[in-house]
């Protein structure tokens, strides 16, 4: 076991900077083994950047590197990402 391992939750703030939606509840399907897990349940390893791995098969799912002005996000192992979107409440529409 790696004592520095974290959960997807740990990079929620970083992802929130880039994406407009809350990402830890999004479900990602691993391209290697086909397992589907919430982003919050992925295993996270921090070094110079962040590596997110599949909790089932340990393959790399997402890599994130950032500097002061840019973020590089690699989706090397994502087959599918399922994101819940907010449905606007029913009611009169503005025109």
Q: Whole-number minimum distance, CB 60 to other proteins, in Å?
A: 18
- Indicate the residue among 16 and 93 with the shorter CB distance to other proteins: 16
**Contact yes or no for 60/52 (Cβ under 8 A):** yes
- Indicate the residue among 31 and 37 with the shorter CB distance to other proteins: 37
Q: Whole-number minimum distance, CB 95 to other proteins, in Å?
A: 28
Unique residue bearing structure tokens 């830890």: 24
Q: Whole-number minimum distance, CB 17 to other proteins, in Å?
A: 8
DSSP for residue 24: T
């Amino acid at each position: 076991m790696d004592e520095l391992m974290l959960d997807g939750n740990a990079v929620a703030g970083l992802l929130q900077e880039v994406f407009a939606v809350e990402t830890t509840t999004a479900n990602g399907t691993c391209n290697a083994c086909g397992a589907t897990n919430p982003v919050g349940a992925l295993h996270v390893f921090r070094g110079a950047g962040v590596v997110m791995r599949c909790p089932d098969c340990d393959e790399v799912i997402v890599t994130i590197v950032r500097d002061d002005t840019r973020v590089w996000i690699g989706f090397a192992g994502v087959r599918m990402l399922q994101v819940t979107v907010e449905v606007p409440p029913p009611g009169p529409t503005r025109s």
